[in-house]
A = this chain, B = another copy of it.
């Protein structure tokens, strides 16, 4: 769509309401066509790509801020959000890119502008339903869209490092979380679930072993058969016993 909805800030931000020097960045994972997708936004007219991020309000819990940022960028609420690291590299203090953004947008600023300071980034990752996301650009960015994780545009500052660390955490925690819950349809075949796991982990898994492990985990409930129209036995479809978050 691209239309501005009322919950998303259309007015210039009042920087006084925000904690200086602290940003929140989100690595938002989606899944489509056996590809792991990441949500990336592009700043207006500048050709600068970045993870969707935001800032911490002075009266706001850190976790709430992450949820709000995610909501403002994707319209999604109550998503599984995981804080995984805080980045504080001095390279983050490179004001070049943001300088460009402000200049290209004819926004007045001096060197003490809120956006031109050093930030440390408290970073979260989220798994969201690819199909339910309506990426909408905000006042500073003119595009917000999914990129295949293998073909990301060059990202500003250390955002690529942030993405890599998020992926590392996602891979390490894949067994402890119900990964498919937000990344697949309500019902899915075992092969579809396995494809998702293989995409995230970046490696092939044993088919029968995967099948057995998933069934023994108790996370799955088997429903009826699915007609594929293909020349082979029709697979069962499954759903997660846990409710969608």
Residues of chain A touching chain B, judged by Cβ–Cβ distance below 8 Å, are 19-22, 56, 58-63, 65, 83, 85-90, 118, 120, 122
Please pick, from B59, B83, B89, the residue contacting A86 in the complex, using a CB distance under 8 A: B83
Please pick, from B20, B63, B89, B90, the residue contacting A88 in the complex, using a CB distance under 8 A: B63
Asked if A61 and B88 make an inter-chain contact with CB atoms under 8 angstroms apart, the answer reads yes
Q: A56-B120, A59-B90, A86-B122 are in contact. List 10 more A-B contacts (CB 8 A).
A: A20-B20, A21-B21, A22-B120, A60-B90, A61-B90, A62-B87, A62-B120, A63-B88, A83-B86, A120-B122
Please name the residue on chain B nearest to A61 by beta carbon: B90
Instruction: A19 to B22: give the CA distance in the assembly, Å.
Output: 10
* A60 / chain B contacts, CB cutoff of 8 Å: 90
Given the contacts A62-B120, A122-B120, A56 and B88 also touching, CB distance less than 8 Å: yes
Asked if A19 and B83 make an inter-chain contact with CB atoms under 8 angstroms apart, the answer reads no
Given the contacts A19-B120, A21-B22, A61 and B85 also touching, CB distance less than 8 Å: no
* A65 / chain B contacts, CB cutoff of 8 Å: 88
* A85 / chain B contacts, CB cutoff of 8 Å: 83
Asked if A89 and B118 make an inter-chain contact with CB atoms under 8 angstroms apart, the answer reads no
Report the minimal beta-carbon distance from A112 to chain B, rounded to whole angstroms: 13
